[in-house]
Amino acid sequence: MKSRITLSLMVLFGATCAAQAADKELNLYSARHYQTDEALYSNFEKQTGIKVNRIEAKEDELLERIRNEGAASPADVFITVDASRLAKADELGLFAPVKSKTLASRIPAHLRSDDWFAFSTRARVIVYNKAAFKSEDVANYADLALPKLKNQICMRSGSHPYNISLMASLIHHQGASNAEAWARGVAANFARSPKGGDTDQIRAVAAGECGVTIANTYYLARLMRSDKTEDRKAMAQVGIVWPDQQRQGAHINISGGGMLKTAPHKEAAVKFLEYLASDQAQIYFADGNNEWPVVPSVKANNPALNAMGKFKADLLPVSTLAKNSAEAQKIFDRVGWR
């Protein structure tokens, strides 16, 4: 009997040691491709002693990998950019609910769901050529569909999550039919077929290839802080408008993540998510990567973000954006915004 008890204690002790050892590492699947994030991971490792093993790839590749790995997936946390991408992972049933007083108290309710959390934000603003337009010409998203902007609009693809999330917000605020009418009007004003990323659109506006576009503030701040002469010249040619300031406010994109259901290191996963909401990490999102903190008490010290000034942000819950994403894509497809 004594030997059985001893054996049981040994097995329990061994399992406990294995669990403790397992909590000394974290497997992160990340679709954020920023070299500046290296400091986030190294600081977490220094503070906790937990080693971050990272795999980076495009969102769809990572999601497919997690699905194929199934219950044997080594992934603990999945992080990416935009609510629509996080919603896709949630729809696939990949995330596990996280009960954390830290996350609940630090991240505003509209910037989290039951299963995933935003850790930084960017605003989707209107950018115009100052030689061709005035700010009052393009004060609202609705203005981009007006006939006066015929052949003046440059845009990236309607299939990109940044635009899908914007459309999802318009569906909520205006209804699907009005949102589709807006998208059709914008598409009718295209100066060229959608191509390239946000930075390409900004440069096209600066060069006069088109007069107006929509871009994330992240890209604008990066150009403003660039040490390249051509980037500073481009920013001198364009103006920035915070849209819909008399209405719901400017649309917000997010970067965020959550813990996976099959996470083998759940304790480490929660610690990592809580770390991303810490003052240190929040400040780094702003100063290192031109994103706004989601924790209200944390103030950015980024000169480019501060130069853009204060604005009214749309406080629509990110979970609502996620629900409208599929309809948003259908609208873009119907109006030929591809």
Q: Which residues are annotated as a binding site for Fe cation?
A: 33, 218-219
Q: What is the CB-side half-sphere exposure of residue 168 using CA atoms within 13 A?
A: 27
- What is the C-alpha to C-alpha distance for residues 69 and 84, in angstroms, rounded to an integer? 22
208, HSE (Cβ side, Cα atoms, 13 Å): 2
Q: How many CB atoms lie within 10 A of CB 193?
A: 12
Determine whether 10 is exposed, middle or buried from the number of CB atoms within 10 Å of its CB (0-12, 13-18, 19+). exposed
Binding annotation: 33, 218-219
From the number of C-beta atoms within 10 Å of its C-beta (0-12, 13-18, 19+), residue 188 rates as: middle
- Among candidate residues 317, 271, 337, the one with its CA nearest the CA of residue 87: 317
Q: What is the DSSP string of 237-261?
A: HEEEE-TTTTTT-BEEEEEEEEEBT
| Closest to 132 measured CA to CA, from 120, 155, 121, 148 | 148
DSSP assignment letter at 137: G
Distance CA 119, CA 103 (A): 10
Cα–chain center distance at 175: 24
Of 313, 255, 338, which Cα lies nearest the Cα of 78?
255
Q: Are 239 and 206 in contact (CB under 8 A)?
A: no
Cα end-to-end distance, the chain, whole Å: 72
Beta strands in 194-237 (DSSP E): 212-216
Mind giving me the DSSP string for 112-145?
Answer: B-SS-EEEEEEEEEEEEETTT--GGGGSSGGGGG
